Amino acid sequence: MRIPMPPVTLRLMTEQDLPMLHVWLNRPHIVRWWGGEAARPSWAEVQAGYLPSAMAEEGVTPYIAMWGTEPIGYAQSYIAMGSGDGWWEDEADPGVRGIDQSLADASRLGQGLGTLLVRALVARLFEDPAVTKIQTDPAPDNLRAIRCYEKAGFVALRTIDTPDGLALYMVQTREAFVEQAGRVA
């Protein structure tokens, strides 16, 4: 008999989480996919760039992923339309949300926690009736992330050019989410 995994939950990130996040964002398995060595954030950069109140002004909501009482990762959602800096310039739907996330500990990769995290984030976002679609943009060679998104219900549409380079544009619509939830129930 297989013991079911406890759910991954999300709580809003607080300023008190910044030291933990700084450590996480400097781990090699995260640095590799979040901008590389050149983008490895200093403590001052994390304080400035990830302060929840400052992120809210930019339309970004940061979360800490929890597995029981253990913090296991970081996630963020953002309003795609008007996100600036060359991102999603053609997006005209205010209901589209973008997501990013990572597991904090490399030893947790490949155990299904990433899929649980993405599913929890998608479910939370679709609780808002204004959200129409959720998108993400993993690097085309980040096969682990792509498979995770597919298991969480995302569909790859095309390769796109972003300010960070080539990415695989993946989406999950509200309709697909509701249909998938109906099959599981």
Q: Spell out a b/e string for 103-138, using b for 16 or more CB atoms within 10 Å of the CB, else e.
A: bbeeebeeeebbbbbbbbbbebbbeeeebebbbbbb
Rg (CA), the chain: 16
Instruction: Give the pLDDT band (50/70/90) at residue 26.
Output: confident
The per-residue pLDDT for range 79-123, each reduced to its tens digit, is 999 887 878 888 899 999 999 999 888 777 777 789 999 999 999
pLDDT at 159: 94
Q: Read off the amino acid at residue 69.
A: T
In the chain, the percentage of residues whose pLDDT exceeds 70 is: 95
For the domain made up of 8-184, the CATH class stated in words is: alpha beta
- Asked if 36 contacts 97 with a C-beta cutoff of 8 angstroms, the reply is no
Residue 24: how many CB atoms within 10 A of its CB? 22
What contacts 179, CB < 8 A, 6 or more positions away?
A: none
Section 45-64 average pLDDT: 91
Domain map (residue ranges) of the chain: 8-184
CA gap 117, 43 in Å, rounded: 26
Section 67-71 average pLDDT: 90
pLDDT at 7: 86
| DSSP state string for 112-163 | SHHHHHHHHHHHHHHTSTT--EEEE---TT-HHHHHHHHHTT-EEEEEEEET
| Nearest residue to 99 (alpha-carbon basis) of 72, 122, 128, 115 | 122
pLDDT at 5: 64
Question: In this model, does residue 144 exceed pLDDT 60?
Answer: yes
pTM over 0.75: yes
37-51, 119-133, 138-152: least confident range = 37-51
